[in-house]
Amino acid sequence: MKNIINIRIAFALVLSLAMVGCKRSSSSNESRATGWKINDKNGGFQYNTNFKEQATSPGLVFVEGGTFTMGKVQDDPMHDWNNTPSQLHVQSFYMDETEVTNKMYLEYLDYLKRVYPPDDPNYRLIYNSALPDTLVWRNRLGYSEMMTENYLRHPGYGEYPVVGVSWIQAVEFAKWRTDRVNELYLEEAGYLKRDARLTDVSADATFNTDTYINSPSSTYGGNAEVLEGGKKRPQTDAEGNPINIYAKRESGVVSPEYRLPSEAEWEYAALGLSELRNYNTIRGRKKYPWSGQYTRSGKRKSRGDQLANFKQGKGDYGGIAGWSDDGADITNAVKSYAPNDFGIYDMAGNVAEWVADVYRPIVDDEFNDFNYYRGNVYTKNAINEDGTVKVLTTQDIVYDTLSNGKIVPRNLPGEILQLPITKDDSYLRTNFDTSDNRNFRDGDKRSSRYYSDNFDESDDASGTRQMYNSPNHRVEADSTGALVRTYDKSNDRTSLINDNVRVYKGGSWKDRAYWIDPAQRRYFPQDMATDYIGFRCAMSRVGSKSKGNNKSRN
């Protein structure tokens, strides 16, 4: 009996010592670096210690990254050799479930119209620059005025993918979407006044995500009623000074940006290689976003149905009505066809889609095989003399004239002025040394026979003079403000490729089946639009590669 009592006493003593010993490290609100309390009500270091994982933002689905074979793995009858297979690795990310629709884009136009009224001469070009080109539907020998007049705005086409949007317009939409989603997140978290996004916004009082992170008091034109009028309970430090008024990156409330997917991300998401992760094998022979080598369904319930919207043959944009029809002659409503294994719709057919990359015939996987992307232009925030970031006002709007004569704003009020990085910023760096990296190792001096001149301080290495000698059309304004268009008529031009042509992928309602292979790649000027190219957005994943707690199979 004594032995039993002694054992119980010893066990209780060991347990109590273990509890005491673990006490200091058991709390997630104590720093493992200093032992200080995190999120102390009297002030100090503030951090979201309850963060679980990134929330899936509106419209997106999660795509777990991995290794895959990018490029055409079937026969290439065209012999283009611009999509030869390369093994690459893509980080986890999020992709729009569907293409951006007319209804989604009209919400963007409505916002611009309210905030920057086009009847005000100061803002007219802002709204006009975002308008899709509805004249892309016209054909010299075809009747298409119904689409020209109705496709963008009529509710009958509300859930159809938007077209007539250039790459530049797609990028601007993604920026706008980022700000509107984060504006809502901050309101729901209590940092912003309720409904301020509807009642307190104007051209000189807008919300921008980067501005809020770097200079929060400059958003909404510095309107304290909005910035401090949220439902979040006010906090003060030991001296009575307010703290935690604004959210920071550390709060976990602010979402990463919406953007166009890279070409590698788009192709990876389109293939829907769910079997890729089984037993760590790579089966890179998939031809379409669905399983099999054919464009028609082999399932009993839907046998013979087309799996995508594309051109069947000459004069055949959908099939025979009521029988083998794919359900569309032009575009079709999103989600009209089954999704791939990632749950993403229309990654083949319907409309081709812009991706972020600048086009080059070669994917330079010898230099980089991780998150491959060509198109980086690095910038930095402009800084005022007092050390604050320079936030643009309505008087700072600068407009650019594109090669097709269209005028677009380079920046909008409320944004932070961006400047190219300089040699001082990149001094002795091994990972980058210039601001514009679009032609890195492909047309710049270091990839030509003039390599020895590459480090001349006076050299302008921004052009692609040696490899891609493309036409250089110019648009300038004369003294009266009229546009003067100058066409390049030189007979010495050898290429259509330059730093302003972007990749588009996926095939469309206007393309034959050959082009709906996710590996196919084509290019188009970034400031032009068509009736068969749309887009969807992506978002980077922060934190863990997988959702949930994935464990090893064995």
The predicted pLDDT at position 81 comes to: 77
Neighbours of 37 (CB within 10 A): 14
The predicted pLDDT at position 357 comes to: 97
By the 10 Å C-beta count (0-12 exposed, 13-18 middle, 19+ buried), 303 is classed as exposed
CA gap 104, 114 in Å, rounded? 16
DSSP 212-247: HHH-GGGGGGG-HHHHT-SSSPPEE-TTS-EE--S-
CA gap 105, 366 in Å, rounded? 39
**CB-CB contact of 366 with 442 (8 Å):** no
Residue 539: closest CA among 122, 177, 24: 177
The predicted pLDDT at position 405 comes to: 85
Phi, psi for 89 (deg, rounded to 5): -120, 135
* Sites in the chain below the pLDDT cut of 50: 20-26, 276-282, 457-459, 461-464, 554
CA gap 124, 371 in Å, rounded? 39
Phi, psi for 460 (deg, rounded to 5): -100, 100
The predicted pLDDT at position 285 comes to: 56
DSSP 363-410: --TTT--BS--S--B-EEE-B-TTS-B-B--TT---EEE-TTS-EEES
Residue 513: closest CA among 359, 296, 190: 296
For 94-144, write each residue's pLDDT tens digit. 999 999 999 999 999 999 999 999 999 999 999 999 999 999 999 999 999
CA gap 404, 169 in Å, rounded? 14
Reported as type and span, the H/E element at residue 95 is strand 93-96
Q: How many Cα atoms within 13 Å fall on the side-chain side of residue 393?
A: 3
The predicted pLDDT at position 542 comes to: 95
Domains, in order of start, for the chain: 60-438+499-540 (3.90.1580.10)
Q: How many Cα atoms within 13 Å fall on the side-chain side of residue 293?
A: 4
The predicted pLDDT at position 24 comes to: 45
For 1-31, write each residue's pLDDT tens digit. 556 666 666 666 655 555 544 444 446 789 9
**CB-CB contact of 318 with 312 (8 Å):** yes
The predicted pLDDT at position 25 comes to: 43
Phi, psi for 399 (deg, rounded to 5): -110, 145
CA gap 134, 489 in Å, rounded? 29
Q: Which residue is it, tokens 């991706």?
A: 355
| pTM of this structure | 0.90
Reported as type and span, the H/E element at residue 176 is helix 167-188
The predicted pLDDT at position 11 comes to: 61
